[in-house]
Amino acid sequence: MIKSMNHMSFTVRDLNISVPFYRDILGLKLISIAGRDPAFSEKVTGIDGAHLKIAYLKALNCAIELVQYLNPKGKLIDTATNNIGSAHVCFVVNDFVKMIVRLKKQNVEFASKDNCIVPAGPNKGRGVVYFHDPDNNTIEFISDKII
């Protein structure tokens, strides 16, 4: 039986680019950056010659693992949200409008044309936007209250 969720993960091209985005722009707390033993990485991932460097960052109630494959280098895939196997993470934010303005000043690329209001379901009435990290992984912000 599943007890809880430990973390979610994105594979990234370069931790030197991704960590500052998640830490400085999104405001997550950096917990660690460390390499992984190649023999262990290969065993866990099933990828021959896998050599990983991993960053862990935390928000209030979740952790994000950013994985850089030092070997073998992966290829950029189309992570558009309509593609099967794509994923995204959603953060609840306060001061929703201020956060969007701040991200726009940081030249964050938004998928949403405008701040949208959820029309139905458990988040009805809350503001929501999609945007992308430096590797085009999708991130969603949803307001902590009805707008």
pLDDT at position 98, please? 94
Q: Are residues 12 and 58 in the same domain?
A: yes
Report yes or no on 63 lying in a domain: yes
**CA atoms of 101 and 132, how far apart (whole Å):** 15
pLDDT at position 115, please? 76
Report yes or no on 138 lying in a domain: yes
Q: Are residues 12 and 67 in the same domain?
A: yes
Q: Are residues 63 and 102 in the same domain?
A: no
Report yes or no on 78 lying in a domain: no
- pLDDT digit string, tens, across residues 22-56: 999 999 999 999 999 999 999 999 999 999 999 99
Q: Are residues 67 and 13 in the same domain?
A: yes
Q: Average pLDDT of 58-70?
A: 96
Report yes or no on 2 lying in a domain: no
Q: What is the pTM of this model?
A: 0.94
- Identify the domain containing residue 105 by its residue range: 88-146
Report yes or no on 83 lying in a domain: no
All residues at 6 or more sequence positions from 45 whose CB lies less than 8 Å from its CB, including other chains: 52
Report yes or no on 80 lying in a domain: no
Query: Residue 46's domain is classified under what CATH number?
Result: 3.10.180.10
Partners of 8 in beta bridges: 64
Environment class of 62 (CB within 10 Å of its CB; exposed 0-12, middle 13-18, buried 19+): middle
Give the number of domains in the chain.
2
Report yes or no on 1 lying in a domain: no
pLDDT at position 62, please? 93
Report yes or no on 15 lying in a domain: yes
Cis peptide before 122 (omega within 30 of 0): no
pLDDT at position 79, please? 93
Q: Average pLDDT of 56-68?
A: 96
Question: Is pLDDT of 17 > 80?
Answer: yes
Q: Are residues 57 and 93 in the same domain?
A: no
pLDDT at position 141, please? 96
- pLDDT digit string, tens, across residues 66-119: 999 999 999 999 999 999 999 999 999 999 999 999 999 999 989 987 779 999
Start-end of H helices in the chain: 15-20, 38-45, 96-105
